[in-house]
Amino acid sequence: MASFLKHFRQLSGLTVLSRLAGLARDAALAHVLGAGPVMDAYAMAFRMPNLLRQLLGEGALTAAFVPVFTDYLEKGGPKAASRLMSLLVVALVTTLAAITLVVDGVLLALRYLTETGTKWHLIFGLAAVLFPFAIFVCLVALLQAALNCCRHFVMPALAPVLLNLFIIGGAVAAGLWVTGDRVTQVYVIAGAILLAGVVEIAVQVPAMR
């Protein structure tokens, strides 16, 4: 019971922190990008990796992974579960990298075919930058599922907080250092999102050991 209450307090606190960070993120983006074509392009471009995350990272993959990983953990022990995890990580990264190469190739071709300065030119370019985030976010979802199976709950709950903080940091940096050019500002924010994906993985991996 004491363990349950401890985890409940930790997860509740991180959930509240994530919601507050989400509000601050939205405020920072609205302040820097405003309401207009650049914000619309950002929302549409960011939706692409998020869609893949919902379909794969938090959908079929996780649903299929959890019972198998739990079975390996209970019957084969940590070493067997670790081997399974390694195989799945390699397969997932390889598959997503191949998908990313194809999708980014299409997006860059479409960007080349659209007129410079138009909304769609920005959407295709920004989507090409942000789509690799799908690799990170799907891998994070897999690590989160494995950590939850191993009764590690704090690090998985920390991931969305980190993403929001990096977006806020990117928005603040863009607002301070790149003034008057919202297109460049949104690319700075996109770079912060990719960096957030790397950091999210980096904080999950030590907990797997």
pLDDT band at 23 (very low <50, low <70, confident <90, very high): very high
pLDDT band at 80 (very low <50, low <70, confident <90, very high): confident
Residues found in the chain = 209
Q: What local confidence, expressed as pLDDT, does residue 47 receive?
A: 92
**Is residue 8 assigned to a domain?**
no
pLDDT band at 7 (very low <50, low <70, confident <90, very high): low
Render pLDDT for 161-179 as a digit per residue (tens, 0 to 9): 999 999 999 999 999 988 7
Q: Which two tokens stand for residue 189?
A: 């924010």
**Is residue 121 assigned to a domain?**
yes
**Is residue 142 assigned to a domain?**
yes
Q: What local confidence, expressed as pLDDT, does residue 4 receive?
A: 61
**Is residue 176 assigned to a domain?**
yes
pTM: 0.90
pLDDT band at 75 (very low <50, low <70, confident <90, very high): confident
DSSP codes of every residue in 77-135: HHHHHHHHHHHHHHHHHHHHHHHHHHHHHHHHHHHHHSPTTSHHHHHHHHHHHHTTHHH
**Which of 148, 145, 141, 199 has its CA nearest to residue 7?**
148
Q: Is it the case that residue 34 has pLDDT exceeding 70?
A: yes
**Is residue 135 assigned to a domain?**
yes
**Which of 171, 160, 170, 173 has its CA nearest to residue 203?**
160
Q: What local confidence, expressed as pLDDT, does residue 32 receive?
A: 92
Q: What local confidence, expressed as pLDDT, does residue 103 receive?
A: 95
Average pLDDT, the chain: 88
Render pLDDT for 96-144 as a digit per residue (tens, 0 to 9): 999 999 999 999 999 999 988 889 999 999 999 999 999 999 999 899 8
**Is residue 9 assigned to a domain?**
no
- Residue 115 is part of which domain span? 34-208
What domain count does the chain have? 1
**Is residue 168 assigned to a domain?**
yes
Q: Is it the case that residue 2 has pLDDT exceeding 60?
A: no
